[in-house]
Chain A
Amino acid sequence: MIALPLGWFAKNFFYDVEDEEVKNFYSKIENKSPLNTKSSIFYGLRQWDIFRYSLALGVQDGCKELDFKRVAANIPTDWLHDQDIVAMFGAIMSKENVNLEILQDPKKIQTTCENIANYGVRKLIEINSQVDMGNPIKEYESMLTKTISQSK
């Protein structure tokens, strides 16, 4: 298990609560958030899973960042899993001109990742709105096979 030094990341990560759609998406409100919608592939999962997927989609588009106003603390860092940390480091390290010195500035890592995820979550919301409720996995499955077939 990856155990980052205590307090290295802030206590919570942020998402854009001022955007109603994003707020609902991360929330656990039944039938509004995929975390609490039975037909969603995120049903019963963590907010971090949404964050990681959002981050991935942001990275896919060239690590595009979308800054936002940090209003309230949202995702507790305590619930971070290895895969989330690996994804965040992957995202940061893939950026041009980033070297090991960034490790001296964990706040920047967090903010950058939050911004990328904030861009990506909008893509995720769009994808999620297009899924067939009868077969929610289909859309993601096509995305996976398509991405694999396109990748070298």
Chain B
Amino acid sequence: MSRQNVLRIKSITIKNFRAYLGDSGPILFSRDINSPITIFHGTNGLGKTSMFNAIHWGIYGEEKKSKDHKIKSEGLVNSYVVDTLEEGDNEEMFVKIQIENQNNDLQYEITRKILLSKEGIGKELVINDTVGGKIPRSVVANSEITFAYKDPDSDDDELIVTSNQFTVSALLKKIFPKATSNFFLLDGELLDEFLNGNNVFVKKGIEDISQLPLLQNCEKQIKSTSNKVGASTTTNRTQYTLTQDRIANRETTKKQCEANLPIVMNEIKELDRSLQDGLKMILKYDEESVRKIQEQIESNKISLKILEENIRTNKKTVQRLVFDNLDKIVMKNAYQSAVTKYKQFQAEKKLPSKFSKDILEQLLKEHECVCGRNLNEDNEAVEKIQDMLSVSYDSTLGHSMNKIVDQTTDIVNDFENDKEIVKEIEECNELISKYRIKRQDLKNMNDDYERELDKVDSKKLEKIRESNEKLSKKLKDANNRKYENDVILDSVNEELVKLNSEFDKIRRLTIKDEHAKNKIQLGEYVQKTLIKAYEQLRKEFVGIVKDKTEDLFMKTAPQAHVFQSISIDENTFAIEANRSDDRDKEISRGQAHVLGISFINAIREITTKNYFMIIDSPFNNVSQKERIDICNQIPTSHKNTQLTLLVTDAEYEADIKKTNLPSVRSTLEKNNSIGCEYNLVQKPHAKIKSEEYFKTNVEEYN
């Protein structure tokens, strides 16, 4: 298949679309086949996905649904524009996309607009379908589209312009069938959709790209024409007409069932996804967050206990310091004058001796000191004992008095350190205050956590549970409908086989007209040939796609060595990577991501449509090594395709020093793959009351 139909984006101009406030002017995309990549990078939340969706909305009139799509309160139009619109004012939001062919001739120009006008002062917010979000009831929004295209039958460079909604819609549908959007506008997070056999859009997209159903339709057409051979040519008119009618009737039923199938399957998919999202939320709150919050509460409670204990200990210390010292301090003067008196008594040797009269008299009698020394020749010692004897008591009061004097002296000596007591008390009080502040902080924190838990438990979770119950019922209904549809389809198909064979028999046996007989035989022959051709081509198509996908996947997939091959379901086109071992391990997100990209590239390579390719979050869930591998493969895997990547700064600029891996940017620069590079920068725009408005600028990166 030759590469004829090359389409590249020349530029995009955005005005007031989501984060992009004001007219961006034309943002040029790379059309250099040697450096085909255009990069938009920025931190999360700055408008990468909005840029992606601006292109999607420009072409299809709706944004691409993300995996966790929700109804957002803010719509497509920048909130500053909506919020500051005055009564009688008009404003517009638009996306203009210019598309070129391989010769750099402008081929198409799509301008999709929303015109806003304020026709009152009402501020009540209502959901507006045109804007896709809530805007004041007083704001009127109208959509408009202009499509300019080159006349394929003319050499004239002038574009033909049309604003007729139906014409534009029909033309765009022809050039960019919705089902093929997955092959040029990719959301990195949705790449694993290709692994899902239930995705009817993937199947439809592949069929649209491969044009394989043409043969099937042709066969059906011939069959239908052949079946129309009139009843007048047969000898058994009644049976002939009856069977003909029954076949037509069953064909109608079959068509209905086939038409219902993608609708109901899509419904099941959407319901299942919403249900999974709900379950994830419940799990998140039930297991992860709740556990973490509870752990934090428990840990805070332990810290609180420790703080309480510290406060109590310090309080006790203060109490002890006060209680042990207050009475002494109060009696400071009394103790001091008592000690003075005691000293005076001691000097006058009036204070009772430490020894009792009995002991001292005994010592003198035995001429021996308490230490065992002989006192016979130590007159001085004997005199001392005699002195002591005169003031000693013949009772225990002597001992007690000396203890009282000693303890009183100690108290008085301790007064020298009484400033230390104040210091110690102050230190304890400071600690108590510090602990009290900490305690309050922890209590507040726990109150917040408790409130959060209450909120999660009582309201949010309940709502999610209720919603999930409803979704489960709907899913059950949808599955039942699908089952019924499948049953009807199976029985109709079975019946049709029988009826057709019966009808063939009737025709063969009862048709008199030779001419009609020949016509029927010829039709049957063409039918059989077409079916064979269709089956053969489909097989070959799947085989080629499989080989190419396998080739790319094995070169770029993380841990590719654990896989030995790729298989593609011939009916659903679902892809699967087969492991080389028998382990029943699921493919990782990163591997699924690469498998999806490989599959898309393989299909694009063998089709005639070499359209631009825009990937949002191309490196989602992919390791740094795999990112570098993918970047190095781009020159061969994407060849002449214009490629636009919307990446986070972290994915784009980070180089991993530990493993010596370069960044995505340096790899792409080394391969000379980057043609244009833009940095998304958020700037504050205005502050109205408490609300702050920001705008995202697309700045050329030098």
Contacts and interface: CB of A to CB of B under 8 A. Distances in A.
B331 A141 contact: no
Nearest to A96: B337
Nearest to B335: A90
B331 A56 contact: yes
Interface stretch (B124-132, B225-233, B318-326, B369-377): B318-326
A71 interface: no
B140 interface: no
Contacts of A149: 422
A111 B252 CA distance: 124
B80 interface: no
Given A89-B404, A90-B338, A151-B418, A41 B397 contact: no
A102 B30 CA distance: 114
Given A59-B331, A94-B338, A141-B318, A5 B425 contact: no
Nearest to A137: B319
Given A8-B397, A60-B331, A140-B326, A145 B338 contact: no
B396 A5 contact: yes
Nearest to B327: A56
Contacts of A57: 330
Contacts of A144: 321-322, 325-326, 329, 421-422, 425
B425 A91 contact: no
A72 B395 CA distance: 30
Given A2-B404, A91-B334, A100-B351, A147 B396 contact: no
Interface in A99-152: 99-100, 103, 137, 140-141, 143-145, 147-149, 151
A87 B408 CA distance: 8
A53 interface: yes
Interface in A1-30: 1-5, 8
Nearest to B330: A56
Interface string A70-91: 0000000000001101110111
Contact of A145 (B333, B400, B425): B425
A93 B613 CA distance: 105
Interface in B309-323: 315, 318-319, 321-323
B408 A41 contact: no
A145 B319 contact: no
A54 to B, nearest CB: 9
B403 interface: yes
- Chain A: number of interface residues, binned into ranges: 35 or more
A5 B331 contact: no
A110 B88 CA distance: 102
B341 interface: yes
B483 interface: no
A21 to B, nearest CB: 20
B173 interface: no
Interface of B is mostly: helix
B330 A82 contact: no
Interface in A25-67: 41, 52-53, 55-57, 59-60, 63
Contacts of B332: 147, 151
B473 interface: no
A41 B322 contact: yes
A86 to B, nearest CB: 5
B396 A3 contact: yes
Given A5-B395, A87-B327, A90-B335, A148 B419 contact: yes
A3 B399 contact: yes
A92 to B, nearest CB: 8
Nearest to B421: A148
B425 A141 contact: yes
Contact of B341 (A1, A82, A93, A137): A93
A141 B322 contact: yes
Contacts, number: 114
Contacts of A93: 334, 337-338, 341-342
A89 B352 CA distance: 15
B407 A86 contact: yes
B335 A148 contact: no
Contacts of B404: 2, 85-86, 89
A89 B341 CA distance: 11
Contacts of B338: 89-90, 93-94
A103 B418 contact: no
B350 interface: yes
Contacts of B330: 56-57, 59-60, 147
A147 B328 CA distance: 11
A94 B397 contact: no
B403 A2 contact: yes
A85 B418 CA distance: 22
B293 interface: no
B96 to A, nearest CB: 72
- Which of A57, A91, A144, A145 counts the most chain B CB atoms within 10 A? A144
A63 B325 CA distance: 19
Nearest to B391: A100
A150 B419 CA distance: 11
Interface in B390-445: 395-397, 399-401, 403-404, 407-408, 411, 415, 418-419, 421-422, 425
B345 interface: yes
Contacts of A91: 331, 334
A7 to B, nearest CB: 11
B367 to A, nearest CB: 30
Nearest to A141: B322
A82 B403 contact: yes
Contact of B411 (A3, A86, A145, A147): A86
Contacts of B403: 1-2, 82
A100 B322 CA distance: 32
A83 B329 CA distance: 13
Nearest to B324: A83
A82 B418 contact: no
B626 to A, nearest CB: 65
A53 B325 CA distance: 11
A151 to B, nearest CB: 5
Query: 6 closest pairs, A vs B, by CB?
Result: A94-B334, A93-B338, A56-B327, A56-B330, A90-B338, A94-B337
5 contacts: A4-B400, A8-B397, A59-B331, A83-B407, A86-B404
Given A60-B330, A87-B327, A148-B418, 13 more contacts: A3-B399, A5-B395, A5-B397, A59-B334, A63-B334, A85-B400, A90-B334, A91-B331, A94-B333, A98-B341, A140-B323, A144-B329, A144-B422
